[in-house]
Structure 1
């Protein structure tokens, strides 16, 4: 008996599916690179897949619509919007906020494709940001990547550094008390949803009260 006989073999159908997946992933990488090369920016039609190793969970379309409309309403026509660790909001906010400045603070460097709107962000170094950004944002929308007191506390330092107005925080229900102590935010009626359902209860908190969802 050959030793190879003990090695599990993939079926032909599985091999074809795996090959197709790899081809689609490479094609998407090429599209992103072409967008960067040609325009220095990312087409809103290119959708990145979640990276669960980075604790990424994209909002569903209805949630993206509500949060992006609210961010743009708060910022006004030519305001300044910061999105912290919520990259799935960026295309919708950018589309709606034609005159506003949108800043995406994100650890995942794939989003460098958004050009000058992207800023590499590691919550472990919450104040490694341009000094002229201090107190510059009319609205900050944040979704800390991990449900831990440390992550929320450090993200809150970034929020306080940036914000001069409204704060919208999306995080787990277990963070409610700490969020209120750190940022003065309270739970509102709107509950964010994700494309892939999360096991944890997930809420939206603001420092200005509830907002319209229709």
Structure 2
């Protein structure tokens, strides 16, 4: 885009080859209407206010982590009905969607459904936004669950701020989510729960995290086959080698279904009947693919 110099009423031609006619041509440069300028100013003020609110959130979150011996300890309801006022990360609204990063937040029901799949059987999460998650009666005897969440910050926020706080602390401590995300804003969830991730460098993950995850939730940021395949490389590096415990769930566009089914064939991934939904809607038709069925959560679609 060409940057035009500002006009000055006293500006005279200067320099060789520059005439008054040349300067007068700048009179044809389009200007914004008063209404458009007012809208632009409102937008800029809104952005500034949101940035200020986010900086305040970062400070509160940092203070919370500094006061905890274990950064994976979550604010617990302990039988009360939530503690949102005490938790700066309990509201996803503070994180605006960045469409340049292809960010589209899930609805609460979609996030809850994906969480229900990966924490089962340790915890039963009813698909009712008003119902509380219930730990398995013998949860002490069940193994811990490590969950890698790739490019799906809504799911991480819902799991850590809307589900885990309603569970007893011994159950909380058996669930270990880590968000792999390009957007560094989500580093506010703490150093143990955030890894900056770029699908263009699929193998660039901490060595200590390779082959460490029992479940992976994936939402590749772009619908290109390249993005899908590169993300799948990361999934392969993160998943545990214990086949009996591995779970994969992936949400992406119907247009790349063939790529998904080929790429994730080793994990038994198939298309489910569940349809992910986004808060602000999407024109692309989305599908949910998973490595297994789960009663009350989803069934596989019948293959033709």
Q: Higher strand fraction: Structure 1 or Structure 2?
A: 1
Q: Deviations over 1:20-78 (max 9, x none)?
A: 33223222222222232233265222521211111112222321222233233366574
Q: What is the rounded CA distance, in whole Å, between the counterparts of 2:238 and 2:288 in structure 1?
A: 19
Which segments of 5 or more consecutive residues in structure 1 lack a partner in the other structure?
none
Q: Is the counterpart of residue 186 in structure 1 residue 209 in structure 2? A: no
Q: What is the rounded CA distance, in whole Å, between the counterparts of 1:139 and 1:130 in structure 2?
A: 17
Which segments of 5 or more consecutive residues in structure 2 lack a partner in the other structure?
1-23, 66-87, 124-134, 136-143, 166-171, 241-245, 299-304
Q: Which residue of 2 aligns with 1:18?
A: 40
| Cα root mean square deviation, aligned | 2.5
The worse-fitting range, judged by mean Cα deviation, of 93-102 and 184-193 is: 93-102
TM-score (norm 2): 0.63
Q: Which has the higher contact order (CA 8 A, sep 6+)?
A: 1
Q: 1:177 aligns with which of 249, 258, 280?
A: 258
Residues 1-214 of structure 1 correspond to what in structure 2 (within 5 A)? 7-12=30-35, 14-40=36-62, 43-47=89-93, 48-73=95-120, 76=123, 78-95=144-161, 96-98=163-165, 99=172, 100-116=175-191, 117-164=193-240, 165-184=246-265, 185-210=269-294, 212-213=296-297
Q: Which residue of 1 aligns with 2:16?
A: none
Query: How many angstroms does 1:146 deviate by?
Result: 1.1
Which SS does the other structure have where 2:190 is aligned?
helix
Bigger radius of gyration, 1 or 2? 2
Structure 1's consecutive aligned runs of 4 or more residues displaced over 6 angstroms after TM superposition are none
